[in-house]
Amino acid sequence: MPDSNRDAASARADEALIRHAFEHVDTWVFDLDNTLYPADCDLWPKIDARITLFLAHLFGLDGMSSRALQKYYYLNYGTTLRGLMIDHNISAEQFLSFVHDIDRSSLLPNHALAKAITALPGRKLILTNGSREHALQTATALGIDAMFEDIFDIVAADFVPKPEAATYDKFFEKHRIEPRRACMFEDLAQNLIVPHARGMKTVLVMPKPGQMDHREACEMTSEVIPDHIDFATVNLEAFLEKAVLNKL
């Protein structure tokens, strides 16, 4: 068989395998940042810069010191906000309002993604460590806000961020989700450990080869995909269209 024919046959076999893996899924859960929009988008750097600025204003620090403190909180508490709430009793509402006050004009409607999500059979939800308002504004800019039943944000999680198990359990309970009939799409591998352990199908959304990646070095996935990842893709809409939706 010529190489081109072998490649096509292999691709069809892979798609059939994936379609079979998702046949039982009736609840589709999506992370927001760097998942529903690509890793080279300028949204996260804007939020990151606003967090640094918030700390600079709050403590009277220079930029480098603010940045170092921000990363300390992130690495030790899961989010900068949680560190500020625990150590300094900072208002979550004030913080979230400030850091998510960004220009989203760089985001364009993603019609292919909107079509793919709309066609998914069952419920669609967003699970994010950001705020509900940020998720809603971002999904609206992408043209996909109407496709989601609800948004479970950091406030709904009592400010305990992913990947903490309590956050997922609270999410499952609130929305009456049976994890074994659900799938989660995420850009951070560590945020899929608990979903996989609970029985969810897990899909890691990765940057395309050579694509700018604004995430922290500790957040990036090595070339070896961890065992708790069922599938990985560099193109979310293509994964949904070619692998999942073909079974409909």
pLDDT in tens, the chain (248 residues): 344 433 433 444 477 777 788 989 999 999 999 999 988 899 999 999 999 999 999 999 999 999 999 999 999 998 999 999 999 999 999 999 999 999 999 999 999 999 999 999 999 999 999 999 999 999 999 999 999 999 999 999 999 999 999 999 999 999 999 999 999 999 999 999 999 999 999 999 998 887 666 555 555 555 678 999 999 999 999 899 876 765 44
Residue 1: its pLDDT value, please? 35
The CATH number of residue 73's host domain is 1.10.150.450
Q: How many domains does the chain have?
A: 2
The verdict on residue 33 lying in a domain is: yes
pLDDT for 12 equals: 45
d(CA 203, CA 25): 13
* CATH code where residue 230 lies: 3.40.50.1000
> Which pLDDT score is estimated for 19?
77
Its domain, for residue 73, covers 43-99
Q: What's the confidence (pLDDT) of residue 191?
A: 96
One domain for residues 181 and 217: yes
Query: How far apart are alpha carbons 185 and 230 in whole angstroms?
Result: 10
d(CA 177, CA 172): 5
Question: Alpha-carbon distance 53 to 60, whole Å?
Answer: 10
Q: Residues 136, 213: one domain?
A: yes
Is there a single domain that holds both residue 48 and residue 35?
A: no
Is there a single domain that holds both residue 134 and residue 226?
A: yes
Q: Please check whether residues 135 and 147 belong to one and the same domain.
A: yes
Say yes or no: 55 and 111 in one domain: no
Please give the pLDDT value at position 36: 97
Q: Do both 29 and 114 map to the same domain?
A: yes
Q: Tell me what pLDDT residue 213 has.
A: 63
State residue 246's pLDDT score: 56
Start-end of H helices in the chain: 3-21, 43-59, 63-77, 80-88, 92-99, 111-119, 132-142, 165-175, 193-198, 236-238
Look at residue 10 and tell me if it is in a domain.
no
